[in-house]
Amino acid sequence: MRLVIARCSVDYTGRLNAHLPLATRLLVHKGDGSLLVHSDGGSYKPLNWMSPPCTLSVEVPDADAIADGVTQQWRVTHAKSGDALLVHIHEVLHDSAHELGVDPGLIKDGVEADLQRLLAEQVEVIGEHLTLVRREFPTAIGPVDLLLRDPAGGTIAVEVKRRGDIDGVEQLTRYLELLGRDPHLAPVTGVFAAQEIKPQARVLAADRGIRCVTLDYDGMKGVQSGAPRLF
Domain of 211, CATH number, reads 3.40.1350.10
> Do 153 and 130 share a structural domain?
yes
Torsional sign, CA 208, 210, 212, 217: negative
Mean predicted confidence (pLDDT) in 175-201: 96
Domain-located, residue 229: no
> Do 170 and 121 share a structural domain?
yes
With a pLDDT cut of 70, the percent of the chain lying above it is 94
pLDDT tier for residue 107 given thresholds of 50, 70 and 90 = low
Q: What is the pLDDT of residue 113?
A: 87
Q: What is the pLDDT of residue 111?
A: 74
Give the H/E segment covering residue 112: helix 112-121
Domain boundary among 37, 67, 97: 97
What dihedral angle (degrees, nearest 10) is formed by the CA atoms of 49, 55, 56, 58? -150
Domain-located, residue 215: yes
> Do 77 and 28 share a structural domain?
yes
What is the C-alpha to C-alpha distance for residues 214 and 119, in angstroms, rounded to an integer?
12
Q: What is the pLDDT of residue 19?
A: 97
Q: Is the pLDDT of residue 110 over 80?
A: no
Domain boundary among 62, 97, 132: 97
Among 72, 2, 61, 66, residue whose Cα is nearest residue 33: 2
Domain-located, residue 74: yes
> Do 217 and 115 share a structural domain?
yes
Domain boundary among 56, 73, 97: 97
> Do 127 and 44 share a structural domain?
no
> Do 70 and 124 share a structural domain?
no
Q: Which of the two residues, 225 and 40, has the higher pLDDT score?
A: 40
CB 47 within 8 A of CB 39: yes
> Do 125 and 43 share a structural domain?
no
Instruction: Tell me the average pLDDT of the chain.
Output: 92
What is the C-alpha to C-alpha distance for residues 90 and 66, in angstroms, rounded to an integer?
9
CB 73 within 8 A of CB 65: yes
Mean predicted confidence (pLDDT) in 177-183: 95
> Do 83 and 26 share a structural domain?
yes
What is the domain-level CATH number for residue 53?
2.70.180.20
Q: What is the pLDDT of residue 223?
A: 58
What is the C-alpha to C-alpha distance for residues 92 and 29, in angstroms, rounded to an integer?
15
> Do 67 and 119 share a structural domain?
no
User: Per mean pLDDT, which range of 25-29, 95-99, 168-172, 225-229 is the poorest?
Assistant: 225-229
pTM for this predicted structure:
0.55
> Do 176 and 76 share a structural domain?
no
User: Per mean pLDDT, which range of 21-30, 38-47, 144-153 is the poorest?
Assistant: 38-47
Q: Is the pLDDT of residue 55 over 70?
A: yes
Q: What is the pLDDT of residue 229?
A: 42
pLDDT tier for residue 170 given thresholds of 50, 70 and 90 = very high
> Do 165 and 132 share a structural domain?
yes
Q: Is the pLDDT of residue 225 over 50?
A: no
Domain of 166 in residue numbering reads as 111-222
Domain count, the chain: 2
